[in-house]
Amino acid sequence: MRDLFQEVWESVRRNKLRTALTGFAVAWGLFMLIVLLGIGNGLRHSTEANMGDISANVMEVWGGRTSVAYDGLKEGRRIRTDEGDVTTTKGPDFADVIDEVSPTISQSGIRVSYGKRSLSTTLQGVYPAYSKMYKTQILAGRFLNDKDLSERRKVVVVSSRDAENLLDGSTDYAKLVGKRVRTDAGISLLVIGIWKVDRASMGASFYVPYTTLKAIYAKGRYVDEIDFTFHGLASEEENEAFENRYRAILNTRHRADPADVTSIRVFNRFRQSLMMDKGMNLLNIGLWIVGLFTLLSGIVGVSNIMLITVKERTHEFGIRKAIGASPGSLIKLIIAEAVAITGFFGYLGMITGMALCEVVNLLLGNNSTEVMGEQVRGIVDPTVGVDVALEATLLLIVAGTIAGLIPAWKAARVRPIEALRAD
335-372 residue pLDDT tens: 777 777 777 888 888 888 888 888 888 877 666 555 44
**Cα–Cα dist 235/216, whole Å:** 43
> Dihedral of CA 185/207/189/100: which sign?
positive
Domain end position, chosen among 218, 250, 269: 269
Residue 262 sits in the same domain as residue 127 = yes
Same structural domain for residues 416 and 283? yes
Instruction: Tell me: do 12 and 78 sit in the same domain.
Output: no
The reply to whether 164 and 256 lie within a common domain is yes
- What local confidence, expressed as pLDDT, does residue 423 receive? 53
**Claim to verify: residue 86 and residue 152 sit in the same structural domain:** yes
Rounded distance, CA 123 to CA 112, Å?
10
pLDDT of residue 371: 46
Written as one string, the DSSP assignment of 336-353 is HHHHHHHHHHHHHHHHHH
The residue ranking higher by pLDDT, 312 or 50, is: 312
Neighbours of 134 (CB within 10 A): 16
Give the structural domain span for 110: 58-269
Q: Quick one: 167 and 248 in the same domain?
A: yes
pLDDT of residue 369: 58
pLDDT at 292 over 70: yes
Does 296 share its domain with 370? yes
Beta-carbon count within 10 A of 334 CB: 27
Q: Do 287 and 211 share a domain, yes or no?
A: no
Question: What is the average per-residue pLDDT within 261-287?
Answer: 83
> Which stretch of DSSP H or E encloses residue 390?
helix 386-412
Which residues make Cβ contacts (< 8 Å) with residue 164, sequence separation at least 6? 170, 171
- Given a contact cutoff of 8 angstroms between Cβ atoms, the answer to whether 157 and 143 are in contact is yes
Characterize the bridge pairing of strands 98-114 and 180-183. Answer: antiparallel
383-397 mean pLDDT: 74
pLDDT-derived band of residue 183, with 50, 70 and 90 as boundaries? very high
Give every CB contact of residue 177 below 8 A, 6+ residues apart in sequence: 140, 141, 191, 192, 193, 194
Q: Is 360 found in the same domain as 413?
A: yes
- Its pTM stands at 0.65
Q: How many domains does the chain have?
A: 2
89 lies in the same domain as 224: yes
Q: What is the pLDDT of residue 354?
A: 85
Q: Which residue has the higher pLDDT, 409 or 130?
A: 130
In contact, 213 and 105? CB cutoff 8 Å: yes
- Lowest average pLDDT, out of 119-128, 181-190, 275-284, goes to 275-284
Question: Which SS3 state, helix, strand or coil, does residue 308 take?
Answer: helix
User: What pLDDT sits at residue 312?
Assistant: 66
- The verdict on 98 and 214 lying in the same domain is yes
Contacts of 324 (CB under 8 A, 6+ apart): none
What local confidence, expressed as pLDDT, does residue 372 receive?
44
- What does the mean pLDDT of the chain come to? 82
Q: Are residues 182 and 239 in the same domain?
A: yes
Q: How many residues does the chain have?
A: 423
As a whole number, mean pLDDT of residues 373-388 equals: 66
**CA gap 266, 63 in Å, rounded:** 9
Q: How far apart are CA 122 and CA 158, in angstroms?
A: 11
β-pair type (98-114, 58-63): unpaired
229, 254, 269 — which closes off a domain? 269
**Which of 269, 302, 330 delimits the end of a domain?**
269
Strands (E) across 177-217 are located at: 180-183, 188-195, 206-209
pLDDT-based confidence at residue 280 (cuts at 50, 70, 90): confident
CB atoms within 10 A of CB 232: 11
Q: Does 128 have pLDDT greater than 80?
A: yes
Would you say 37 and 289 are in contact if contact means Cβ atoms under 8 Å apart? no
Percent of the chain with pLDDT over 70: 83
